[in-house]
Amino acid sequence: MTFDRSLKIAPSILSADFADFGREIRAIEAQGADWVHVDVMDGHFVPNLTFGPPAVKAFRPHVKTVMDVHLMISPVDAYIDAYADAGADILTAHIEAGPHIHRTLQAIRAAGMKAGVALNPGTPADAVADLMDLADMVLVMTVNPGFGGQKFIDMTAKIRRVRELIGDRDIHIQVDGGVDPVTAPLVVEAGADVLVAGSAVFRGGSVDNADVYGTNMAAIRKSVTG
């Protein structure tokens, strides 16, 4: 993966048809998705249960862009190698998920993946101030993690602060939660360059009517670029 700060849309397949993930992934990529976002939840760190390493490994052959795996689990370290083996390009762990985030980010990179660190809405930006040389991406949650389709929480001040902390380093700022054509311009103006969108991409479409996915992504892009 070469770094660039151009706008990227990463549809969350949490909003896809669970019975048809392969076709759904191919459809969103064909319609212009830059990355494919995979939300891993354990029913412990967050109140929901989704995918494990075998499912992520099954998704991998269908992903031709970037497989962006967001771990909403605790603990993380014991599963890093499994997600590396599953083919994750980027693996993001929550700073709140364990006491040794430096070790976690080091282990993610050592396993050959890009390392992301996520911040819940209640965690301040400065919590990642000492992680800038270990992270390839900072994920600012704009909902409390655990469910799709939640209402956006305004974290623009936090995003601006993260952008200040990054300085001239090659680190992405990703935003996840309630991203749509109304909220996308706010977070991009604050400094975000990777937008995770679930229902805003998949709403109204299907694998047999995938043009809707493209229309929805185009609406998000247009809201940002004008």
Q: Measured between alpha carbons, how far is 221 from 216 in angstroms, rounded to an integer?
A: 9
Q: Measured between alpha carbons, how far is 80 from 113 in angstroms, rounded to an integer?
A: 9
Whole-angstrom CA distances from 217 to 17, 86, 129, 206, 212 are 17, 27, 32, 14, 9
| Catalytic option among 39, 42, 68, 193 | 39
Cβ atoms of residues 70 and 118 within 8 Å: yes
Does 4 qualify as catalytic in the annotation? no
44 DSSP β-pair partners: none
Does 39 qualify as catalytic in the annotation? yes
| Catalytic option among 68, 136, 176, 180 | 176
Helices 211-225 and 21-30: crossing angle in degrees, nearest 10, is: 40
Catalytic residues, by residue number, are 39, 176
